[in-house]
Structure 1
Amino acid sequence: MTVAITLILLFIGGLGALMYLAFRRPPANPPKKFRTRGPRPGTHTVTVAFGDSLTHASLSADWVGALRERLGPGGHEFVNAGINGHTTADLLDRMEEVVACRPDAVTILIGTNDARNGIPVTRFRTNLEQIVNQLQARTTAHIALLSAPPLGEDLDGPANRELAPYNAAIEQAATRAGITYLPTYERISEHIRSNSTAPHFAFSFGLALRVALQHYLLRRSLDDIATGNGLTMLTDHIHLNDRAGTLIADLVTEWLSRTLHVDRRHRRAAAV
């Protein structure tokens, strides 16, 4: 009986630890921690990555961490303001924490949960425009809107047909606000069309938990887990593997490089 109880307690403890790592663990350098500590010495650019689990990266590839490794030594600081499960409405509720970071640049990757939760596209568009308007009114940050990645790898299936108007709203919001649109969906889709067998969309909480088990306990890479699930760029039909995360990091790196180059040129011209 004692052995059985011990095994049950160990199982419950292990499951609790896995749930924490997969769903509750805070991201690296979240807004509260950054505001408490302040920018690191030598920082010249603070970028806030605002979004949901695809940014949070407890279940998804850590593209924000990849940017930190690439650009951090050169004076860039990256604040991860992603939270699992969030929608545009949640981002509106969290505007203050982003503004308080006094960012030089903000990336916004949102839409997956709005689409999956059936939030009307009109409300999604309104929320997104309010997010951008507040950032433009309350900060001097450069802003980039990223399209939401595919929902599963059946690009012609119902899940991605339902996602399409949300991504159209993202691109339209960027155009109207005069800010940058980064084609996350488009870049990832190119790789899917070249390599995927296009299985039907089949996300479930159980599948996400199995991905977490393999990644955190069995130490399998996200790319290997995706391959084992018959996928190319996604691990569980929603979250990004490392290949997809690298594509997003590349897009943001290119955008930041262009933006900062223009800023430096303007500063030089103003000094003449």
Structure 2
Amino acid sequence: MSRSSTTKRIAAAVSALVLAGLVAAGAVGYLTFVRSPVNPSAADCADGRPRSEGPVVVAAGASMTQGTLGRDWVADLRARPEFADHTLVNAGDNGNTSADLRERLDTDVLACEPDAVVLLIGTNDVRDGVPLAEYRANIAAIVQRVEERTSAQVALLSLPPLGEELDSRLNRRLRDYNAALRTIAEETTAAYVPVNEHFTEALRDQSHRPAFAFSFPTAYAAAARHYLLGRTWDEVARANGLELYVDHIHLSDKGGAIVTGLVADWLATAAGPDPR
């Protein structure tokens, strides 16, 4: 074989490897950051209330609700036999703040004519430094609009810790946002669901926790381990020295199970649909 032929073969092999790497990288990016939540999503409410013999429940929030990075707790609720007659709509949207959710409330939540609304929103507000007063105003406006436009029961999920270092600067700041959620629940018909409190209790067992270190590369690497290597979200979490998160923000299987259980308990007591 000539040197020229060998060089061409090596170049072709390298090109194939590069192309395969780009395809894999693109697939991870799409599965994690681009695709819609597992159906039904908010887009399915474009023509009004989904066809459902039972209650319609909308879970609204950001990436922790969308569930394409980390455990999809909305899908886990949907799989529970006690909710077989429920339609669980995933209205999570990566990167959303409370202001973003407020802006899309009519199209992505109210358009579904829900019987129950589960709100988990605010992690990005805390990270982005959104003033507490602004956050409180957005959540209050969201709850008020749901109450005015529907007969849906509303659950306000307290924000989980940002990372597993409970006394970090971010988590000290986050306490005020959760206090605002509790106050809004007391002033309205909304229920307060203590997600943060259960996460905090689960994390008290170990004295040393890694400092908060979320970044896009960390999130992407976590997604690649799951989607390319087939690791469970708990295995991804352990690889990063974490327990309830895969990348300091998004849920491991164990973290997702806490959220699923708490929302399931609340839904078990929430009213069914009004006659239509």
Normalising by structure 1, report the TM-score: 0.91
1:10 counterpart letter in structure 2: A
User: Structure 2 regions of 5+ residues with no counterpart?
Assistant: 1-10
Number of the residue aligned with 1:13: 23
Residue pair 1:197, 1:230 contacting (<8 A) in 2 also: no
User: Structure 1 regions of 5+ residues with no counterpart?
Assistant: 268-272
Aligned equivalents of 1:219, 1:150: Cα separation in 2: 27
Correspondent of 2:99 among 85, 89, 100: 89
Aligned equivalents of 1:196, 1:64: Cα separation in 2: 31
Aligned equivalents of 2:227, 2:172: Cα separation in 1: 33
Matched, 1:182 2:193: yes
* Aligned partner of residue 100 in structure 1, secondary structure: helix
Number of the residue aligned with 2:228: 217
Q: By how many angstroms is 1:46 displaced?
A: 0.4
Residue pair 1:47, 1:106 contacting (<8 A) in 2 also: yes
Aligned equivalents of 1:70, 1:134: Cα separation in 2: 30
Number of the residue aligned with 2:113: 102
Matched, 1:151 2:128: no
Q: Which has the higher helix share?
A: 1
Number of the residue aligned with 1:45: 55
Aligned equivalents of 2:17, 2:218: Cα separation in 1: 24
Number of the residue aligned with 2:12: 2
Q: Deviations over 1:181-226 (max 9, x none)?
A: 0011111111111246311111111111110010111111111111
Aligned equivalents of 2:115, 2:211: Cα separation in 1: 40
Q: Deviations over 1:229-248 (max 9, x none)?
A: 11111111111111111111
User: How many aligned positions are there?
Assistant: 263
Correspondent of 2:35 among 8, 11, 25: 25
Correspondent of 1:232 among 230, 243, 247: 243
Structure showing greater radius of gyration is: 2
Correspondent of 1:64 among 69, 74, 83: 74
* Aligned partner of residue 50 in structure 1, secondary structure: strand
Residue pair 2:74, 2:90 contacting (<8 A) in 1 also: yes
CA shift in 2, pair 1:116/1:73, >3 Å: closer
Matched, 1:135 2:124: no
Number of the residue aligned with 1:270: none
Q: By how many angstroms is 1:227 displaced?
A: 1.4
Find runs of 4+ consecutive structure 1 residues off by over 6 angstroms: none
Aligned equivalents of 1:165, 1:44: Cα separation in 2: 37
1:176 counterpart letter in structure 2: E
Number of the residue aligned with 1:122: 133
CA shift in 2, pair 1:82/1:72, >3 Å: farther
1:82 counterpart letter in structure 2: G
Matched, 1:197 2:200: no
Residue pair 1:47, 1:76 contacting (<8 A) in 2 also: yes
2:209 counterpart letter in structure 1: A
Q: By how many angstroms is 1:164 displaced?
A: 1.2
* Aligned partner of residue 172 in structure 2, secondary structure: helix
Normalising by structure 2, report the TM-score: 0.90
1:32 counterpart letter in structure 2: A
